[in-house]
Structures are given as C-alpha cells and as structure tokens.
Structure 1
Amino acid sequence: MSWKLGVSFFLFGLINNVLYVIILSAALDLVPASTPKGLIAFCNITPSLAAKVGWPYLLKGTVRYNQRVIGCCILSVLGMIVVALSGGVGMRLLGISLASLSSGLGELTFLQLSTTYVPTIAGRSVGYFASGTGAAGLVGAFLWWELRNFGVRVGVGLSSVLPLTIPLVHFFLLPKPSSISKQDEEDDGAEPLMTSSTEYTPLPTDEGEDSTVGYRSSRTVALSASDKWRLVKPMILKYMLPLCEHPFFEYTINQGISPTLLYPVPSPEEHPLIALLIKSIRDYYPLWQLVYQATVFLSRSSISLGFPPLPEKLLPIPAVIQLVILLTLVYESAVGIFGDSSEGASFFLVFLLISIEGICGGLAYVNAFYRINQEKSDSSDPETAKQEKEFKIGSVGFSDSSGIMLAALVSMPLELSLCAVQVKRGKGLCRSL
C-alpha cells in the first residue's frame, strides 16, 4: 500500500480531531468554575451530531470531497479564532460549536473517502484514520497541557493554524483512488475480510467527476429514502447500538466524573512518583484526560499495527466493561473506595480504570468502522455500489455522536451531584478549582 495513503489518512484523523480534544482538555480554563464542564462537551458535540445526521441522510448523490475539505478547514479556523479572541462564555461556546461542526463533517467525509479505494486498501485507510483520531486525543491533551500556561487567547490561537494542514494533504499528498490498482491491493499482503460481489473499479470521488482524467458522468444516481432505510436497518443492533453505548459511558466518565476525582497535592516525600505529575489540584483533570487519550491512541491503532479485528460477536463487550468502570468510579468519587487518607491507592486505581476505559473505547471505534467499510454491496451497478458504501459508513456516525451528546447532558448534573456529596463528607476540593 502506498505510504502516502497511510500518512494522508493518519493526518486526516489527527488534525480533524485534535481541536475537539484540545477544547475538552481546556474545559476548566474556558468557563468559570461554577459552570459545569459538561456544557463544553454539549457544545462540542451537538453541531457534530447535526452534520452526521444531515449530510448522509438528507443529501443525495455523490460526495463533493474537495468542497467539504475546504469548508471544514474554514469552519475550524474560524471557530478557534472566536474562542481565542472572546472573553465571554457565550461567544466561546459559539466558537466551539463551529469547530464541532467542522469536526463532525470532517470525520464523516474521510470515512466515506476511504470507501472509494479497493477493499483491502479501504480497510487499511480506516485503520490509519482511526489511529490518527487516537493520536489526536494524545496530541491534543498534551498540547493543552503545555499551552495552558500561555492562557486561552494565545494557546487556542496557536492551535487555530492546525486545520490548514488538511487541504494541503488532500490536494498534494493523498493518492487518487484511480492511481491505486488491484495489483497494489495484492501487494499490500492482506486478504480482505469481505469483498464486493462485483469486480471493484475505483470510481469518481467528486460529484461524478474523476479528477484524474477529467471525465464527468452524464448519468445521475441517488439513493432514495427507502434505499437508505434498507441499508441502515441491519446495522442498528450490529453497529449503531455499540457505537452509541461506548461513547456514552466514556464521556460520562471523562466529563461528569473525572473533574471530581481530586485528591490533595501529593508530597514528594510520601508519593515521589505522583508528585512529579501533580503540582496543583488543577493538574488532576488534564492528567486523567492525557491517560485516557494515550490508551485510546494505542487501541485505535490496533488494525494499522497489524492486529486482527475483533469478531463481530465481541463488539458489545468493550461497552460492558466501560459500564462497570463508570459505576466503580462513581463510587470512588462519592464514597472513596480506600478512604480519604489513602490518596496513593486511590490515584493508582483511577489511573488503571481510566486506562482500561480508553483501551475499550478505541477498540470499539476502530473495529466497528473497519467492519462497516469491508461489508459488500449487493448492487451490480458500480456507481450505486459506491454510494451505498459511502452512505453505510457515514450513516452510523450519528450513533457515536448521540452517545457523546447524551453523556454531556448526564455529566452536567452528575458532576454537580458528586461534588455536593464530597462537600457533605468534608472533601471540598471540587469547589477550589
């Protein structure tokens, strides 16, 4: 497989998602302490959800990839500039919403773009994109860990230049589908899990036009509402439910529970290792985000590193594990498993559970989209088959975003409730942020 293809999709995932992660990691700095951090998550996902519902379900015909890439870049840059230059909560939430719209449309676009390549290469493209989204979590959390010392205006302002990378990669590095032949697929050294019932031919990627040869099709093909329902129906329990559950549990933990998982600043004498990481109470929340994002990156990279995908019957298992972790962390926050005098044990327990949470979330994401990408089309018409593959992988994205949005709604009252419970038992650290 062309190294340019792998690098391109990795960068698509990285840059498209990095601003989203920076905003979540900066939640404590973007709003006053009295404002629930779940409000940031809500504004950071609702426009993304609207994009994932609107484009695949409402729009017809082939995907205009060039226009989408340029539009996503403009929205991202504009959104981050608004966040950086605004001091009020309302304008910052508006900027976050613009960046969210760009992120949702971008994820939809690049997942659909992967289906325009020959099947095995398409599957690898999804793996590299997922790896890039995982790296975005790690890079975004680390960037804000460093940039937060410069304040919101400078830190967010510097991050606004990152989206300019995407058009450069799309137009100057990414190989065209027609440039990767069947022989390239065989040379990749991997057998596709599922192949199309018809011989695969790379097809136009921009409104009926092959940008390589300048051909424009005179035939218009568009999926009807009944066609789309026929394609979606078998995926509801198979893919959509797991893709909704795991982000719901993840983001409820990250936005509703993590801000309350606070302990006294460790002394170098009693906890030398923890003291290297925690210098103030405000360091706990970004640290938990960093741990989560690091483990997500590792698990989302599993397919691009050559590990086999999970069997379909095991796709719901990561969400079940995350539910157990959520309940355990709620108890730890409200009551304290080891008691308030055992900060070291509590710290390492939370560290371990958040690591497992990240691994489960990454595996659920990359395996679901990989298997959707590799599903065959029953249509004998190449253009119809192409649109069906684009729609199927785009249609499930709203499940992931719906889980995140529901988590944002739940995490706001959950954070406030857990903080109130801690204060009642004499632990007021959550009020000092």
Structure 2
Amino acid sequence: MDPRAHTDLRGDDGIEETDEGKDLESAERRRIMFRMGSSFFLFGLINNGLHSSPERIAISYPTAVLYVIVLSAALDLVPADVPKGVVAFFNIAPAFVAKVGWPVLSTGKIRYSRRLSGCCALSVLGMLLVSAFEFVWMRLLGIALASFASGLGELTFLQLSTTYRPPSIAGFGLGYFSSGTGAAGLVGAFLWWNLRGLGVRIGVGISAVLPFIIPLVYGLWVPRPAVFEMLSLPPSYDTDELPPTDAYTPLAESDDVIRSEEDAATYPQRHPHMPIALSVDDKRRLVKPLVLKYMLPLFCVYMFEYTINQGIAPTLIYPVPSPEKYPFLRFIHSIRDYYPLWQLVYQAAVFLSRSSISLGLPPLPMNVLYLPALIQAIILFLLALESALGIIPDTSEGLAVSACFLLIALEGFCGGSAYVNVFFRVNQEPLSSSVDHERAKQEKEFKIGSIGLADSLGILAASLLAVPTEVGLCRAQVDRGKMLCKNL
C-alpha cells in the first residue's frame, strides 16, 4: 500500500504508520537513486577514459577504459617500423565516425539493449584481435573496433540519460556518467599497470571480460525510466519539472505507435501505424540552433585542450630539480618524468570537474558556457609563451613546475567543466511541444547525440595543430640554447 495513503489518519497508530511509511518510501527512494547513480557511473567508467600515447604516456582522447588496455598492449606489439601516427589514426577515426555518423544515419526508436550488446561484442572482438594475432593489420583492426565501440557507447549513454523524467533525474544520471568518464583515465591506467606484468596477451585476454559489465548493468541494475514516474520525489529532485506541454505519456509496448487523431492531423504524411523516424530535414532543423549555443564552445575547449596536451605539454621540461632544494619535487628523477606528471595533473582535474554535477555543485549558467573556452585559450597562450621564451628561468625550476602545475590543473578543470555542463544543458532542455511523445523523445535523443560532432572535430583539429606546435616550440627552445627537448 502507498505509504502516502496514511497521511490523513489520526491518532497515535496513524502517526506511527505515517512515519513508518515515510521511512520506507525514503529508503526505497535512496535505493533507487543509488542504483541510478552507480549504473551511470559504471557506464562512464567502463566506456570512457584516456589512453596511452604512441610516443609518450597519454594522449587525452576520450575512449574506453577497455581501450586503455587494448592500445597499451597494441603499442607493445606493433613493430618499431610502423609509424605511431597510424596507431593514433586507427584510435581516433572510428570513434569519430561513430559519434558523428550514427546520429545522422540511424532512424526510428533506439533499441538500447541491442546497441549496447553490439558495443560489448565489438569491444570483446577488438581486444581478442589485439591479443591473439601477430599481424599488424589485425591488431590495428582490433584497435579500430574498440574505438568504434567506445564512440558509439558514449553516444548511447548520453542519449539514454534523456529518457528519464523528471529532468532532474535525467541530469542526475548524466552527472554520474560524466563523473565515471573522468575517473576512467585514472582507473584504466592503474588497471593496465597491474595487468601488464602478465604479458600483453594474457592481460588483454583477461580484460576481455570487462565489456560484459555494461549489458549486465543495463539489464539487471539500472532503474527503468517508468520507475521514476511512480516514485514520489522530494522537492530537491522535482523543482525543475517540465512545462505542462511536456507531460509524460505512457508509450505503447508495440513498436508501432498508434497516434491520436490530433497527432495524425499534425503529421498527416505518416500512416497511423507507421513507426516514427526523423527525416534528414528534421535533423538539420534540430542541429542548426545547437551550433552556436553548444557545439562551438565545446569545439573550442577541445581544440585548445588537446593542442596543449599533445603539442605544448611535451615541451614543458626543465632541469631535474634538486631534492634538497625542492623536496616536494623529489619524485621527478629525469626530464622524462615531466610529461607523465602533466598528464596526471590534467586527468585528476578532469575527474574532479566532470564530477561537479554529481557532487551537487550548480551547473554553469547558459550565458557563461563560453567561459571555459576563453580561459582555455589564455592558458594555451601562456604555456606556449613559457615554452618558447622561457619566461621563468631554468634556474627556478621549482617556480616553473609550480606555475605549469597550476595552469594545467586549470586546463583540466575547464575541459571537464565544459563537457559536463554542455551535455547537462542539452539534457535538461524540455521536450518539444509536439503532441507525439515518441517523436519528441527521438528529437531530444538526436540533439544530445549530435553534440559529439563538436568534441570530435575539436580533437581532430588539435591533432593537426599539435605536431607543428611541438616542433616549433622545440626549435624555439634550441634557438635560445635549451636542448632538453632534443634529449627525450
């Protein structure tokens, strides 16, 4: 019986039943919210992360924790005469294709269980190809499959978050997914560090069980959207309810949604029993207002961020600090330790900033979504200036390392903040006023899925800028007599 049915009872017994009912309802609510948060955190943790760099430690590109393992192993198996840029291409391109092409080409209702099962199968197959074959092209194919599965997985989970109501629950799930993506780099690197002692083939083979976590969590643990329609939420959860035009309407179990007479009059071109599918013109209309509002700031943040990580950070090297003079830097033993340090600082900052929503911090207002990109551009300029001109003398390596530490941490905060806030804002946009709920639902799923175009283009643009940037900065250091970058 619904515990709220006791609220009008009087007497001691009635009060006891009311209190007990409220306690039971509160406990059930906490249990469901825990399942929701932990599920989306696991989705982000398993699916997203940072992977190893062909030449150094890490390229900051969002792929799977599984892919941290796959690529780390693949780089050990690829012969020295194979250009590492080829590995990077097979890493980046398939995820880009999945995130950009899938929202455009897919039509109709999303079958989440089928799509996630497909991602699981591709991830397992990719890992097995890397571990089982000695042929270079087979290993590269395995990397490509893992990359494609990761890109499609990220797209799918972002779309899945929009299916929950009220919008605060949708934002709750997205916040924990974002937090999981931030944790993935740290967890994935730690996991491979411990598995690599078994050898790349055994380590990757053991890790092939990880993809199965996602369909298991989706099938057995994550609450379904209908659960929240029946759950009584406190004011802290439902203060941002959608307008009346976006009220929830239960969907038919059948794939063929029978439309009302009013809906049929609105869209007379579709047969009443024909499944809904967005047309190319529909998708073009939906994307157009997103470009300046969400895509451009995310593109700029990613382009500046990955240019710093791939083109500038490798040149931020200084003489090894004296342990006696700088005891807080005694963990730096050679100039090769600087780049891993910058990546560790960056990843930790990304994790914290991507967790901001799940930690209860308020999202950025709409009118300051460009602020992270602006700060990122200033950081890029300052770090490039320091690398090229040596504003801080090499004799003050403690000051130089501290300044770079703070700027790179701020870079990570800006990058993670842009990611979680842009997707959170898209997630929170109300459904369209269409009387066809399924159509409005597909429109929102497409909108959040199409945003992936921005970060992917930013990454590709940065990959083109990073190489000449690194070469130019190293040359500038050599011209002023600093030869450290030539000794890496």
- TM tier, shorter chain? 0.7 to 0.9
**Structure 1's 63 and 339: CA in aligned 2 closer, same or farther, altered over 3 A?**
same
Preserved CA contact (<8 Å) 1:38 1:411: no
**Structure 1's 431 and 194: CA in aligned 2 closer, same or farther, altered over 3 A?**
farther
* Corresponding residue of 2:240: 192
Paired residues for 1:254-273 under 5 Å: 254-273=309-328
Which amino acid in the other structure matches residue 12 of structure 1? F
| Structure 1 residue 428, shift from structure 2 partner | 3.2
* Corresponding residue of 2:445: 390
Matches of 2:131 and 2:436, distance apart in 1: 49
**Structure 1's 242 and 87: CA in aligned 2 closer, same or farther, altered over 3 A?**
farther
1:231 aligns with 2:286: yes
Preserved CA contact (<8 Å) 2:48 2:150: yes
Match of 1:180, SS? helix
Preserved CA contact (<8 Å) 1:303 1:366: yes
Structure number with the bigger relative contact order (C-alpha 8 A, sep ≥ 6) is 1
Larger radius of gyration: 2
Matches of 1:424 and 1:53, distance apart in 2: 42
| Structure 1 residue 353, shift from structure 2 partner | 0.4
Moved more, 145-154 or 341-350: 145-154
**Structure 1's 259 and 193: CA in aligned 2 closer, same or farther, altered over 3 A?**
farther
1:76 aligns with 2:131: no
**Structure 1's 90 and 204: CA in aligned 2 closer, same or farther, altered over 3 A?**
farther
Matches of 1:275 and 1:145, distance apart in 2: 22
Moved more, 260-269 or 139-148: 139-148
Matches of 1:268 and 1:155, distance apart in 2: 36
Preserved CA contact (<8 Å) 2:160 2:445: yes
1:352 aligns with 2:411: no
1:124 aligns with 2:172: yes
Which amino acid in the other structure matches residue 447 of structure 2? K
* Corresponding residue of 1:100: 147
Which amino acid in the other structure matches residue 100 of structure 1? S
Question: Of 35, 38, 45, which residue of structure 2 is paired with 1:14?
Answer: 45
Matches of 2:290 and 2:346, distance apart in 1: 28
* Corresponding residue of 1:5: 36
Which amino acid in the other structure matches residue 51 of structure 2? V
| Structure 1 residue 416, shift from structure 2 partner | 2.5
Question: Of 468, 473, 477, which residue of structure 2 is paired with 1:418?
Answer: 473
1:282 aligns with 2:333: no
**Structure 1's 187 and 243: CA in aligned 2 closer, same or farther, altered over 3 A?**
same
Count of residue pairs the alignment pairs up: 424
Matches of 1:266 and 1:33, distance apart in 2: 32
Match of 1:342, SS? helix
1:381 aligns with 2:436: yes
Preserved CA contact (<8 Å) 2:255 2:275: no
**Structure 1's 78 and 418: CA in aligned 2 closer, same or farther, altered over 3 A?**
farther
| Structure 1 residue 100, shift from structure 2 partner | 1.8
Question: Of 37, 55, 61, which residue of structure 1 is paired with 2:108?
Answer: 61
* Corresponding residue of 2:299: 244
* Corresponding residue of 1:52: 99
Preserved CA contact (<8 Å) 1:66 1:206: no
**Structure 2 segments unaligned to the other structure (5+ residues):** 1-28, 60-71, 258-271
1:326 aligns with 2:380: yes
Moved more, 162-171 or 379-388: 162-171
**Structure 1's 190 and 344: CA in aligned 2 closer, same or farther, altered over 3 A?**
farther
1:362 aligns with 2:409: no
* Corresponding residue of 2:483: 428
* Corresponding residue of 1:166: 214
Moved more, 229-238 or 35-44: 35-44
**Structure 1's 386 and 149: CA in aligned 2 closer, same or farther, altered over 3 A?**
same
Which amino acid in the other structure matches residue 229 of structure 2? S
Matches of 1:387 and 1:43, distance apart in 2: 31
Preserved CA contact (<8 Å) 1:23 1:96: no
Moved more, 313-322 or 343-352: 343-352
Matches of 2:93 and 2:103, distance apart in 1: 16
Which amino acid in the other structure matches residue 377 of structure 2? L
| Structure 1 residue 23, shift from structure 2 partner | 5.7
| Structure 1 residue 251, shift from structure 2 partner | 0.7
What do the CA deviations read for 1:100-134 (whole angstroms, capped 9, x no partner)?
Answer: 21111001000111111112211111111111111
Preserved CA contact (<8 Å) 2:245 2:433: yes
Preserved CA contact (<8 Å) 1:203 1:386: no
| Structure 1 residue 51, shift from structure 2 partner | 0.7
- TM-score, length basis structure 1: 0.87
* Corresponding residue of 1:338: 392
Preserved CA contact (<8 Å) 1:193 1:374: no
Match of 1:140, SS? helix
Matches of 2:402 and 2:220, distance apart in 1: 46
Preserved CA contact (<8 Å) 2:99 2:453: yes
**Structure 1's 243 and 391: CA in aligned 2 closer, same or farther, altered over 3 A?**
same
What do the CA deviations read for 1:62-98 (whole angstroms, capped 9, x no partner)?
Answer: 1121121122122223334445567787665544332
Preserved CA contact (<8 Å) 1:63 1:206: no
* Corresponding residue of 2:24: none
| Structure 1 residue 136, shift from structure 2 partner | 1.4
* Corresponding residue of 1:212: none
| Structure 1 residue 227, shift from structure 2 partner | 1.2
